[in-house]
Amino acid sequence: PAARFLPMGGVTVENLPHYAQAGAAGAVVRGVIGARAKWEMAALITQMRRVRAAWEAGLAERGA
């Protein structure tokens, strides 16, 4: 049977594409956001765009 996995812990923008290529259903990116108490909205949006671009790059490599 096919099992989908959701990695968490140690996920970075740099290694996120590898998880997408390996077939992960998604990833927990808490560490990418960091332990900041507060984010400015523009900075948070910019960071999440980097995360999404990294994920989509991995999917493209996988051919998904």
What sign results for the dihedral spanned by CA atoms 39, 42, 43, 48? positive
In degrees and rounded to multiples of 5, residue 35 shows phi and psi of: -100, 20
With a CB cutoff of 8 Å and minimum separation 6, the contacts of 3 are none
> For the whole model, what pTM was predicted?
0.82
Q: What pLDDT is attached to residue 1?
A: 58
- Give me the chain's average pLDDT, please: 89
SS (H, E, C) 27-55: CCCHHHHCCCCCCCHHHHHHHHHHHHHHH
For 10-46, what is each residue's pLDDT tens digit?
899 999 999 999 999 999 988 777 766 788 899 889 9
**If you count them, how many residues does the chain have?**
64
Q: What pLDDT is attached to residue 3?
A: 79
